[in-house]
Amino acid sequence: MFLIIGDDHLRTWGLKLVLDGGPETGALEQPYASDPSFCGQLNWDPNDLGQLVLAAVERGWRIGTHAIGDRTVRTLLDVYERVLAARPTVPPGTLVIEHAFLADREERARAIRLGVWITIQPALLYSLGSILQRLWGAERTARIMPVRAWLDEGASLSAGTDYPIGSYSPLETLWSLATRQTESVGTQGIEYAVDRLTAAWLATAGTAQLLGESDRLGQIRPGKYADLVAYAEDPLTCAIDRTRDLRPTFTVVEGQPIYSASLEISDRWPVLQRRR
């Protein structure tokens, strides 16, 4: 059973831990392209991390651990595997890797076997592409977030924004997943791209699955919360370059309209209160 604190508007999902840093310090198996003497660094001793994760899951907490480098992903899976060996009844989705920028086929297979969920934030490739290419090199940058491979191999995946590091716009998430464009170094690893419908699923139904709330969130179906937005164009079929620039024209929360060009913010608050 998961420990849940909060309500439908704001709740504590679990604990976030940070095992390595960003592109400047992410722990890699091989040296940085920018510095042959540096392989990044881990923020935790693996044994200490394992004790904390075990104590947390025994109390019903879920754990999302930031890990971007391939050495970090391998180390984290070692920790998670030990925790699951000690507590084999931990539900799938309790242990999550946040980002998993670099994960080879072997580590992807291990994550899938262990039931470890992966969250991806594709807008980070757009914003960090030039930094990654300078520090990690072109070959590793092209392999960042191999979404198509994760899905083909059977991983449990969800997509988000990582705002404020990435863009807040969910349509930039769709666009980034479909194009793998970067801000200044072009397309990276197009073989790992997915179509926009799959991208939309990852950002909606996939996220609801991770939260354990597929019974009421993530899809437009009878019996689920009617939380949705409308656009002037279909973001799944319009010209791909237009997708990221679309803005909502209408917003519905719990079946009630709360935003349009003619509504003031003061008109929206009573509707938002009803689900509390």
Domains parsed from the chain with CATH numbers: 5-220 (3.20.20.140)
Average pLDDT over every residue of 229-253: 92
Average pLDDT over every residue of 227-250: 92
For residue 32, which of 69, 59, 66 has the smallest C-alpha distance?
69
Q: Is 39 helix (H, G, I), strand (E, B) or coil?
A: coil
Whether residue 164 is preceded by a cis peptide bond, meaning omega within 30 degrees of 0, is yes
pLDDT at 248 over 60: yes
pTM (two decimals): 0.90
Confidence of residue 100 (pLDDT cuts 50, 70, 90): very high
Task: Encode pLDDT of 107-166 as tens digits.
Answer: 999 999 999 999 999 999 999 999 999 999 999 999 999 999 999 999 999 999 988 877
Give the chain's mean pLDDT: 91
Containing H/E element for 15? strand 15-18
Q: Is 178 helix (H, G, I), strand (E, B) or coil?
A: helix
Query: DSSP code of 32?
Result: B
Model pLDDT, residue 71: 98
Burial 152-188 (b: 16+ CB within 10 A, else e): eeebbbbbbbbeeebbebbbbbbbbbbbbbbeeeeeb
Task: Encode pLDDT of 189-198 as tens digits.
Answer: 999 999 999 9
pLDDT at 44 over 80: yes
CA distance linking residue 159 with residue 170, whole number of Å: 9
Dmax (CA) for the chain in angstroms is: 59
